[in-house]
Structure 1
Amino acid sequence: MYDPAKVDLTTVALKSLILGITLTVSLLMIIFTSFQLQMPVYVFSISIFHLSEFFCTSIFNLSEIDDDSFILNDTELLAVYGASTLEYSISHFLFPFPWTTTLTVRMYVGFLIILLGQSFRSLAMGTAKESFNHYIQREHKSKHKLVTHGIYSISRHPSYFGFYWLIVGHQLWLGNWLMLVVCAYKLGNFFRKRIEFEENYLISFFGEEYINYRRRVGVWIPTI
């Protein structure tokens, strides 16, 4: 069961409502309007991401759920959304160039990377189940298991892999070359430090078993 002290149901309902409306409006724009596809698909993908964070937590690790399991309180991530929208708007409406406004190979590649990133993120949560947490665990609890099967046999940090490539895919899809460089650099640097910090605890939890696993399986994020 979840801890009622960590879950404000009003907050959960409000966030769910906002994300649900955003998802529905963006989907209707994709289906029924002649508006450029890039922004509605981007907003739809963002809505799916945040909803899936909460629902995957509720399904696979209910005891750790809280009203921020949507991770909507991450101000840096919200800033990325704002900056991405700003660059898209400037490049498409003020200085429209064919390589940012037309459906190109770049957009197809970006869309496929978005699907890849979201799939890895959700599969990581579903595979790890109670061993997955949005926060780095500094104490080894009995429910924590070293997960090395499934998606974890491809990447030892598939949730980070998925998040990294989801954000990169967004920028490719939108044609945001500045944000593509900024996000790739900032996220690569962030995850390099986070993984180094987290793996110190994982080695203390699982010892040689984790060290051998780390030797076998890469992360597949550039610079890591």
Structure 2
Amino acid sequence: MAPISIRKQLQVDVELRSVLAFFFASFVLVFAFSLFSMLIAALLLVCIPPSSYFISKHRNQKFQSTTQASILGVVFGFALSYSIFYNNYKSSCLSRYFAILAIFHFTEYVFTAFSNRRSLQPDSFLLNHSVGYWMAASTSWIEFLIELYIFPFMKSHSLSMLGVLCCIIGEVIRKTAMMHAGSGFTHKLAMAKRSDHVLVTEGIYAWMRHPGYCGWFIWAVSTQLILCNPICTFIYTYVTWHFFSQRIYDEERDLIKFFGSNYIAYQNQVMCGVPFVTGYKMPQHG
């Protein structure tokens, strides 16, 4: 089932409109007040999410989604304003990172709504991705703060901006993959083939088999370039590569089961997308 037009989606999808409204309202409030006082903006950073929760509950909206949208909106607003107005500070690397992080999680939800509305749920923000995901993120924050205090010269504006550019490239690849795959793109591995599940080999999928993972891999590693974290850059590269290598292996094993020789032919003609990952290969008999 192809995704409906964005305009029509916005017209009929009350939940999506609510999420967009809460995100942008939170963002605008924090960003606007930061023009006058970062202290007031910081207070709004704390006050707006719980206010959004109570407003959503009162209006019988899906507060799990709108509250997460508000959190991401205030984080993006505060981080973006700090990045702009304190751009020459070494610490602005961290604000750029949080701006990129907030946009990534927000757009995961939005693009899921546009590409595969049936699978949309509060979890689509991926804020509850895993304990390991947030442990890795926390580790990168700790490395940044330690190096900022001991070796501030390591935090380079040009390298940080290169990381932002690479994150944007990764985001474009991943979101393009979500739109081109339509209902075939899910955040969780499919355990069984649905009646409407088709093998997508066009668009960006004509260039790589797993553009969604490719984009996420580029994005994840590039977040550490934004922070200018040498240690976590290597750790993220290895851990993220290992995660996607295993996930692609499991996914392609199921895809061969679903689509048989059609997927094997596609697999032999198109590269994986994540460097040095081969995926699942059918065992050769005889």
TM-score (norm 1): 0.90
Deviation, structure 1 residue 174: 1.4
Residue 157 of structure 2 aligns to which amino acid in structure 1? L
CA contact (8 A) 2:177 2:212 kept: yes
Name the residue aligned to 2:255: 202
Is 2:160 aligned against 1:107? yes
3-state secondary structure, aligned to 2:123: coil
Q: Which among 71, 74, 78 is matched to residue 25 of structure 1?
A: 78
Q: Within 5 Å, give how 1:110-121 maps onto structure 2.
A: 110-121=163-174
TM-score (norm 2): 0.72
Return the structure number with greater relative CO, CA threshold 8 A, min gap 6: 1
Name the residue aligned to 2:120: 65
3-state secondary structure, aligned to 1:144: coil
Residue 262 of structure 2 aligns to which amino acid in structure 1? E
CA contact (8 A) 2:93 2:157 kept: no
CA contact (8 A) 2:156 2:228 kept: no
Structure label with greater radius of gyration: 2
Q: Which among 47, 50, 53 is matched to residue 105 of structure 2?
A: 50
Is 2:204 aligned against 1:151? yes
How large is the RMSD of aligned CA atoms in angstroms? 1.9
Residue 71 of structure 2 aligns to which amino acid in structure 1? I
3-state secondary structure, aligned to 2:248: helix
Is 2:64 aligned against 1:11? yes
Is 2:147 aligned against 1:91? yes
Deviation, structure 1 residue 143: 1.9
Residues 31-40 or 132-141, more deviating: 31-40
Name the residue aligned to 1:137: 190
Deviation, structure 1 residue 210: 0.7
CA contact (8 A) 2:213 2:273 kept: no
Deviation, structure 1 residue 176: 0.8
For residues 47-68 of structure 1, what are the alpha-carbon distances to aligned partners after superposition, in whole Å with 9 as ceiling and x for unaligned? 0100011111111111111111
For residues 62-93 of structure 1, what are the alpha-carbon distances to aligned partners after superposition, in whole Å with 9 as ceiling and x for unaligned? 11111111010122221222111111111112
Residue 164 of structure 1 aligns to which amino acid in structure 2? F
Name the residue aligned to 1:177: 230
Residues 50-59 or 170-179, more deviating: 170-179
**How far apart, CA to CA, are the structure 1 residues paired with 2:188 and 2:273?**
21
Residue 47 of structure 1 aligns to which amino acid in structure 2? A
How many residue pairs are counted as aligned between the two chains? Answer: 217
**How far apart, CA to CA, are the structure 2 residues paired with 1:173 and 1:216?**
35
Aligned identity (percent) is 31
Q: Which among 200, 210, 215 is matched to residue 268 of structure 2?
A: 215
